[in-house]
Amino acid sequence: VSFLRNQVVTFPRNRWSVCAEIRWSISANSPDLPTEPIVIYGDREKIEIILFNLISNAIKYTPNGGRVTVLLDDQEAVVVLKVADDGPGIPEDISGRIFDKFYRAANQGKRGGFGIGLYLAQQFSRRHHGDLSFQTSIGEGTTFFLQLQKGTVHFKGVPINKEVTQISPLLDELKEDGQPHASPMATDQTGFKKEPILSDKKTILVVDDDDEIRKYIRSILESSYTVFEADNGQTGLTKANEKLPDLIICDVMMPGLNGIELCSMIKNDQRLSYIPMILLTASSSPESKIKGLESGADDYIQKPFEKDVLLARIANLLQTRENLQHYFFNTVTLKSANVAISEEYRQFMEKCIDIVERHIMDEDFSIKVLAAEIGMSHSNLYRKVKSLSGHTINSFIRYIRLRKAAELLIQSDMNVNEVAYQTGFSSIKYFRTQFCKLFGANPSDFLKQKRPVFKKKFNVID
């Protein structure tokens, strides 16, 4: 009962001011109210989404002075949740389509259609081995029936956690939606404070068996960079795996694992291949330089070298990488990507966005599918994604999903949980957390600030 009551009090007054009252009640086989809790096992968040959509639609279509009733009917083997309104009812010609995804009736006027909400509600009820149905009468109203089974027998092979979560992230999110803020957010009209996804001070690993050379290079770099050292190739490989530096400077001629071998190993390691490498050598022969570049080195500097030459080469490689990552960040946060990058990377980014968005609700979409559609091996895809974004492929895909979510929050009339589902997030809590990390605001606040600006700018009429 308290769970059901929470669903009703979630709605701010300005969402249901058209109704005279919202009533909720409980019925049971016994003439007395049950003394023990009525227990239903399921995904609380999904059931909340079902109820929220049913109650939201009931409120939307209830006229001034009308009534919405929420009834919990406790039966022997099932529980039936009923949400009834005394609105206009659902016309017969559209009643068979209201559970279709994105179906919107043409004659629903300013109140809009049913959108993705009822589609979601039906999908989630089926996942619980339940049933969602309705009865309607023109001019008298509509009642939706959500039937859920008691016990756990129908969840064969599914681990059951019998601990009851008292705090609902989804209800917190929905309570915030439509509520006035106590104080204005400390943001401007178009931007939010974001958690940075780019690091500030870059790290450089110096690998050289000559102590004096390492000390000299450290003295040049340490005022601007965080410097790690290794006195041989094997130690260098270990530290590269531990520290994941932004750049590696490596001597070619070393005992044991030499610089060219180390470079080749790093460039063939999926986890490290994106790291730019500068090889240092005392040899001036073209063959030596060619061999170094063939191993995957990004630059090649001959000893002895000028301090300013080394600094310029380092800055150039890091700036190129930073430009790529800023381009990626601006693109996923819907900002103007006015950063100079190669056409190759620009087309790669656009193609990745297109592929992810085409598969955005595909449960079988994976890194393997992305690699196949873009025509690259898994290792080459990893290297390119890491260079472009600074993130793993999974994180890269998640950022593209969040980018689409932001677009929908701004440009569509979906609510937050509809957008989350539409962009492939099954958990509202996880969606809120990741969205806030990227955009610096929870989805509700983002929607309330950005959507009115978009509608005003493009003269969108509700």
Q: How far apart are CA 215 and CA 160, in angstroms?
A: 59
Q: Both 306 and 347 in a single domain?
A: no
We report the CATH number of the domain holding residue 133 as 3.30.565.10
Q: Both 135 and 250 in a single domain?
A: no
> Is residue 6's pLDDT more than 60?
no
Sorted by sequence, the CB contacts under 8 Å of residue 241 that are 6+ apart come out as: 271, 272
Q: Both 375 and 313 in a single domain?
A: no
pTM: 0.52
> Is residue 352's pLDDT more than 50?
yes
CB neighbours (10 Å) of residue 345? 17
Q: Which structural domain range is residue 97 located in?
A: 2-156
Q: Both 105 and 231 in a single domain?
A: no
Question: CB of 448 within 8 A of CB of 456?
Answer: no
Question: CB of 233 within 8 A of CB of 251?
Answer: no
Instruction: Give the residue from 416, 407, 404 showing the smallest Cα distance to 444.
Output: 416
Question: CB of 301 within 8 A of CB of 311?
Answer: no
pLDDT in tens, 96-121: 888 876 555 544 444 444 445 787 78
Q: Both 294 and 351 in a single domain?
A: no
Q: How far apart are CA 42 and CA 49, in angstroms?
A: 12
Structural domains in the chain (count): 3
Mean pLDDT calculated for residue range 206-215: 92
Question: CB of 68 within 8 A of CB of 22?
Answer: yes
We report the CATH number of the domain holding residue 310 as 3.40.50.2300
Q: Both 238 and 357 in a single domain?
A: no
Q: Both 146 and 288 in a single domain?
A: no
Q: Both 142 and 10 in a single domain?
A: yes
User: Cα-Cα-Cα-Cα dihedral of 199, 204, 205, 208, to 10°?
Assistant: 180
> Is residue 134's pLDDT more than 90?
yes
Tokens of residue 450, six digits: 């950005």
pLDDT in tens, 16-40: 344 435 555 555 554 455 566 778 8
Q: Both 10 and 146 in a single domain?
A: yes
pLDDT in tens, 168-204: 555 554 444 444 433 333 333 334 444 444 446 789 9
Question: CB of 440 within 8 A of CB of 192?
Answer: yes
We report the CATH number of the domain holding residue 412 as 1.10.10.60
> Is residue 5's pLDDT more than 80?
no
Q: How far apart are CA 338 and CA 326, in angstroms?
A: 9
